[in-house]
């Protein structure tokens, strides 16, 4: 693509293609400093959106704003035992997780990664922005004891469990209290 659209487009395309590997490397590097890791991953996703928009500009394609003005709520997706088994054998690994999340980001979803010091868990979340169409205003989370698996659980939920329209998801019946 770069040769057709110039050196700037080529440089942006190269950076975007290396995104997953770079984030995977940063997660390993900062694993012992949760707040730095959290900031690094969130900054990386913001930079991904900035560079993708620059590439759109170079290609003459409309830029995305990733704004969300309408909060509608969380879509609760608790993994069943069977879904956890499927997750454990799922063939998406390493940098492919971060690339997969970036792909959803390009569809209008805002990614965030946070560390919860109270229970020593990581929470990865997607919130549908106005560009997400029917999922605008809805959020889905994945959590785990490490940032990589929190992100991987989130990707599994949005790509293997949830329907295209998140609010149409029907969770299995749960206990009356919890």
Length of the chain, in residues = 178
Residues whose CB is less than 8 angstroms from the CB of residue 96 and which lie 6 or more positions away in sequence, other chains included: 20
Per the CB < 8 A criterion, the answer to whether 158 and 126 are in contact is yes
pLDDT by 10-residue block (mean), the chain, 178 residues: 75 92 93 92 90 89 74 91 93 92 90 93 94 92 95 96 92 59
Query: Domain spans of the chain?
Result: 2-168
pTM to 2 decimal places:
0.84
Question: Which helix or strand (DSSP H or E) is residue 14 part of?
Answer: helix 7-17
User: Which class for 163: exposed (0-12), middle (13-18), buried (19 or more C-beta within 10 A)?
Assistant: exposed
Q: Are strands 73-74 and 109-116 parallel, antiparallel or unpaired?
A: unpaired
């Amino acid at each position: 693509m770069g040769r057709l659209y110039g050196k700037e487009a080529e440089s942006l395309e190269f950076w975007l293609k290396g995104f997953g590997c770079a984030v995977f490397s940063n997660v390993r590097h900062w694993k012992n400093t949760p707040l730095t890791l959290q900031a690094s991953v969130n900054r990386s996703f913001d930079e991904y959106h900035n560079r993708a928009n620059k590439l759109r500009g170079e290609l003459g394609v409309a830029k995305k704003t990733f704004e969300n003005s309408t909060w509608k709520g969380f879509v609760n997706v608790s993994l069943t035992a069977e879904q956890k088994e499927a997750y454990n054998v799922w063939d998406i690994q390493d940098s492919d997780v971060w690339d997969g999340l970036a792909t959803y980001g390009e569809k209008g979803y805002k990614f965030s990664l946070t560390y919860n010091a109270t229970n020593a868990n990581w929470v990865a979340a997607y919130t549908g922005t106005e560009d997400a169409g029917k999922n605008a205003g809805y959020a889905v989370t994945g959590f785990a004891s490490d940032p990589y698996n929190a992100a991987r659980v989130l990707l599994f939920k949005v790509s293997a469990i949830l329907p295209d329209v998140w609010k149409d998801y029907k969770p299995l019946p749960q206990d009356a209290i919890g």
